[in-house]
């Protein structure tokens, strides 16, 4: 039995981790940490856990928790973990972090885009970026897992095969991505009120969104050179989901079958990445509540561009279920343990 703690357990991602771990046959949740709800019963905060998780939220310190569990999930804002984590804590337990604190290897890039000092840059070298299907071999032995976010997971996996095979101009990629409102977190914000988001859609973080350097870094690793791209996120009035539409310039003339063969080369053995049938566009409703990513593509002979499309659930493969998938790899469990969820429709 693996003992787990969740810091930030009352946010949307933290609660989703708790839900998945509660159904994992090899895990016992020992600690549910929430400063805002310390002393309150978890089932009173999230009624879906009534008579399922009968624990109170606590405010145990990270270092103290590490001595009592095997794995800690930190579903916390940027800056929390990098301000507290030490090598001594990692000697006691393994960490899966949901923030961007250890995703970007260049500390100056992190500090520029996130506007804060990094207090444990010496740990960046051992952190592994948790895109399971790409970094599986590195993930299994790491003590510190940097779990990717929703926009990044969708954007990277959608373009990865073509970047890896140098089939598109590396600096031609333009990504437009839509997100459900839960991606903004559970905190009370006027901009996320029902009347503010319903029957509306908007771009935000235009040219400045903090996921941009993360996507560039990971696709740069795939290509073998630095990559510069345009990323524009949009907020749309739905609870869950990410839809990425990516446009790039092809480096040659390729048939559908040639491009499909490249996607199959990288993803045919991956349970949770589904390359759709020809002319079938990914939709968020067909991945909701699951760990699946649906991807597809279409070429435009008129412009010489290729349109890449991807969809996932931002709270699942874009956060919690990917974290549990990485946990399974780290502890030697079947990769789909606790994650064998068919998408919910409607």
DSSP single-letter state for residue 321:
H
Sheet with 144-146, strands from edge to edge, namely: 27-33, 2-7, 71-74, 94-97, 144-146, 128-129
State how beta strands 71-74 and 144-146 pair.
unpaired
Q: Whole-angstrom Cα distance, residue 307 to residue 29?
A: 43
168 backbone φψ class: left, alpha, beta (φ>0; ψ -120 to 50): beta
222 backbone φψ class: left, alpha, beta (φ>0; ψ -120 to 50): alpha
Helix ranges, the chain (H):
12-22, 42-45, 62-66, 87-92, 107-114, 132-139, 150-164, 194-197, 212-223, 256-267, 320-331
State how beta strands 305-312 and 2-7 pair.
unpaired
Q: Whole-angstrom Cα distance, residue 63 to residue 91?
A: 11
DSSP sequence for 133-171: HHHHHHHTT-SEEE---HHHHHHHHHHHHHHHTT-B-TT
Q: Which of 173, 213, 179, 209 is nearest to 308 (CA)?
A: 173
Burial label for 336, CB within 10 Å (0-12, 13-18, 19+), is: middle
Q: Whole-angstrom Cα distance, residue 113 to residue 161?
A: 27
- The angle at the Cα of 39, spanning 34 to 40, to the nearest 5 degrees, equals 85
Q: Which of 57, 93, 150, 154 is catalytic?
A: 150
Catalytic: 150? yes
> Looking at the annotation, which residues are catalytic?
150
């Amino acid at each position: 039995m693996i003992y787990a703690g969740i810091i930030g357990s009352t946010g949307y991602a933290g609660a989703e981790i708790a839900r998945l771990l509660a159904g994992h046959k090899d895990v016992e949740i020992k600690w549910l940490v929430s400063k805002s709800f310390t002393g309150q019963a978890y089932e009173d905060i999230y009624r879906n856990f009534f008579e399922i998780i009968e624990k109170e939220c606590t405010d145990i310190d990270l270092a103290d928790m590490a001595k009592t569990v095997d794995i800690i999930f930190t579903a916390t804002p940027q800056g929390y973990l990098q301000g507290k984590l030490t090598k001594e804590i990692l000697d006691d337990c393994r960490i899966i972090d949901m923030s961007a604190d250890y995703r970007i290897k260049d500390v100056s890039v992190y500090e520029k885009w996130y506007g804060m000092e990094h207090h444990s840059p010496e740990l960046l070298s051992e952190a592994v970026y948790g895109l399971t299907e790409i970094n599986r071999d590195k993930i299994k032995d790491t003590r510190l897992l940097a779990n990717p976010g929703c926009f990044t997971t969708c954007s990277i996996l959608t373009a990865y095969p073509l970047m890896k095979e140098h089939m598109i101009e590396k600096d031609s990629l333009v990504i437009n991505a839509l997100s459900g409102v839960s991606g903004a977190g559970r905190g009370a914000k006027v901009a996320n009120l029902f009347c503010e988001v319903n029957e509306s859609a908007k771009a935000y973080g235009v040219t400045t969104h903090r996921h941009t350097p993360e996507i560039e870094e990971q696709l740069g690793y795939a290509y073998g050179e630095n990559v510069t791209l345009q990323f524009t996120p949009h907020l749309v009035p739905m609870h869950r989901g990410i839809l990425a539409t990516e446009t790039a310039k092809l480096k040659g003339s390729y048939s559908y079958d040639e491009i499909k063969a490249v996607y199959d080369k990288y993803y045919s053995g991956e349970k949770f990445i589904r390359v759709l049938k020809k002319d079938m566009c990914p939709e968020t409703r067909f991945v909701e509540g699951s760990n699946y990513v649906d991807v597809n593509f279409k070429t435009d002979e008129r412009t010489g561009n290729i349109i890449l499309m991807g969809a996932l659930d931002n709270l699942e493969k874009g956060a919690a279920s990917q974290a549990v998938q990485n946990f399974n790899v780290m502890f030697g469990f079947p990769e789909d343990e606790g994650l064998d969820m068919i998408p919910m429709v409607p």
